[in-house]
Structure 1
Amino acid sequence: MGKKHSLLKTVLAATAALYATNTAIDYHAKDKNLCSTAKGDFYDFKYGRIYYTRQGQGAPLLLLHNLDTISSGYEWSKILKKLEKDHTVYTLDLLGCGRSDKPSLTYTNFLYVQLLTSFIQDVIGEKTNVITSADASSIAIMANQMNPDLFDQIILINPSDIHQMKMETNRLQMTIKNILFAPLVGTALYNFYVSEDHIRSIFDKKYLSRPLQDNKKFTDLYYQSAHIHKSNGRFLYASKKCSYTNVDVTRAITDKDNLHIIESTDRKKAISIAEEYVKKNHAIDVTYISNSKLLPMLEVPDQCLKIIQNYLA
């Protein structure tokens, strides 16, 4: 009886400590006060409110940030001003990211296809150019397949590996997703992924080939963005980690003539990834960009902008 009582006390103490730690992290993230909604608006999508901005004049251009729970529309901030000289530019925080709602549900590629389609129909209201970043590439590719009349040119910046996107969810991943959805343990694991140290590591190893002059500003933005709506970003994190956002895009790219790729040469497997797309469709044009990894729009914005403008001309 004494051992059981002692074990219970230990479990309760550990639970209380975990709860206190998670709560403290949420308060710390709010202190940065960097993610403002003052310059934008909200679109009422059927699964939650979507934060977006609209700037400039001209042919519509929609920018989709990397599909990562730490990402947001801030990803485009270094090229936005120049793009809006010739376009009506829309940025949005995808569901589960940034200033948008982060509902408790399983996030799938089709959910985001619905979001993209609805946003273009309800907010933009006409055929649209789209630029995507990294893992958001499959959203635009599949939406273009299902609703081609909504899209003009689609530019994929460092799109996902076609073979990786084919990977399906297995039973182990289903179990992991359930753990990550759990309030205490899932929140703790999520908070490790979106900790300041880990976000800095993501920037150093994956996002950039070298630190930005304003590196701290962006890592702080990504940190706070990941913690808006407390730990609810874990639902997208779990869904993506366990392959629920994956989709086979092979058929969706084979007969399209409006797809273009910007590929960073410092990115791992960059050339082979781009070549796989071209093998499936020789009409896809690829431009390689140097001195950058996953986010050339932040790292080499002028080079990135020049390529974008050539594709949209």
Structure 2
Amino acid sequence: MSTSLLSTYDPTGFGGVVQEYVWQWENQPLRVVYETLGNGSPLLLLPAFSSVSTRQEMAGLARLLAPHFQVVAIDWPGFGQSSRPSIDYRPEIYQQFLGDFVQAVFSIPITVIAAGHAAGYVLQLAHQQPDTFSKIVLIAPTWRGPLPTMGANPMLAGVVRGLVRSPIVGQILYKLNTTPSFLRFMYRRHVFVDTAKLTPSFMEKKWQSTQKPGARFASAAFVTGNIDAVHNQSDFLALVQSLSVPIMVVIAESSPPKSRAEMEVVAALPGVRSVVLPGSLGMHEEYPAEIFAAIEDFLHH
């Protein structure tokens, strides 16, 4: 496993140094792209899992944090500019990857800011290796993929995942679910609050990120709940309660009702700091300045 410099500038990033971490999973090398900006104590930014997941969604936060920290943001395996092989994406992959990446890139306990579904993986790693993180910020944390949230049982979710993974039918289904108009519909529904921000160029970039070879495999795993780090709320809450590291939860005011209720249960746990801010499930991208202002004191003290 090694890291290497890709370039000092990447138009799909946020102006930092772009590097590549070569990681092995079951004897298959995966290229994982990450970007570093700023100097200071290390801080890891983990984007939310979604069909359009890239480190670029953390760009606003990265730039605000860079004067105070050395910020590292990743493209998860299967997403963004990282390798997208047709492997069976499941929690073990991301658990192992996150632990290996943190160990390879950082030498001291780090601050981590995780959006959406990344929360479960951060909590599991913090539980398994208590010295990994010095502070944890969870932004609009979720633990259940879209299909299970809508009530699909595991068998149906498995059928859908199998269809999307299949060569011809899968490509057709995936293309239908990643058209610019469908992506815009999803953003309006539960990702962004201010639809004026969903400009043609913004949506074009999101669409392009879904069209890379192999993009449908990890996306299908997320949508069908196959990369849910935990499978019920009590396990998620137990992980939070098991930790001694300081935790702050940022609740998205306009989240889907079920998601917001679950965020509030986490925020109500003893010792957890919390704040309610504007936004929905994409609040880390839509309202970075508001989030930075709300977490700055927590990060520094």
Does residue 105 of structure 1 match 2:87? yes
Question: 3-state DSSP class of the match of 1:46?
Answer: strand
Q: Identity percentage over the alignment?
A: 21
Decide whether aligned partners of structure 1 residues 297 and 162 sit closer, same or farther in structure 2, where only a CA change above 3 A counts. closer
Query: Which range moves more in the overlay, 114-123 or 299-308?
Result: 299-308
* Residue 212 (structure 1) shift: 4.5
Q: Which residue of 1 aligns with 2:7?
A: none
Instruction: Please provide the CA RMSD for this pair.
Output: 2.5
Q: How many Å apart are 1:303 and its aligned residue? A: 1.0
Q: 1:260 aligns with which of 225, 238, 248?
A: 248
Alpha-carbon shift at residue 91 of structure 1 (Å) = 0.5
Structure 1 pair 161/182, CA: closer, same or farther in 2 (3 Å)?
closer
**Compared with structure 1, are the counterparts of its residues 244 and 271 closer, same or farther at alpha carbon in structure 2 (3 Å cutoff)?**
closer
> Contact (CA 8 Å) 2:138, 2:250: kept in 1 or not?
yes
Output the amino acid matched with 2:70. Answer: T
1:276 aligns with 2:234: no
Q: Which residue of 1 aligns with 2:166?
A: 182
CA contact (8 A) 2:13 2:35 kept: no
Residue 101 of structure 2, aligned match among 115, 119, 137: 119
Structure 1's 241 and 259: CA in aligned 2 closer, same or farther, altered over 3 A? same
Counterpart of 1:119 in 2: which secondary structure? helix
Distance change (3 Å), C-alpha of 1:169 and 1:115: farther
Partner of 1:21: none
Cα displacement (A) at 1:250: 3.3
Residue 251 of structure 1 is aligned with which of 235, 238, 252?
238
Note the C-alpha offset of 1:160: 0.8
* Runs of 5+ unmatched residues, structure 2: 1-9
1:235/1:113 CA distance change after superposition, 3 Å: same
* Residue of 49, 53, 58 corresponding to 2:35: 53
TM-score for both structures, normalised by structure 2: 0.84
Give 1 or 2: higher strand fraction.
Answer: 2
User: In the alignment, which residue of structure 1 is the partner of 2:65?
Assistant: 83
Q: Is this contact kept in 2: 1:158–1:264, CA < 8 A?
A: yes
Q: Render the CA deviation track for 1:112-151: whole Å, top value 9, x for unaligned.
A: 1211111111012321111111121111111111122111
TM-score norm. by structure 1 comes to 0.81
Distance in 2 (alpha carbons) for counterparts of 1:211 and 1:46: 40
More helix by share: 1
Deviating 4+ runs (over 6 angstroms)? 162-165
- In structure 1, the gaps of 5 or more residues are 1-32
Match of 1:43 among 21, 33, 46: 21
Query: Partner residue of 2:206?
Result: 222
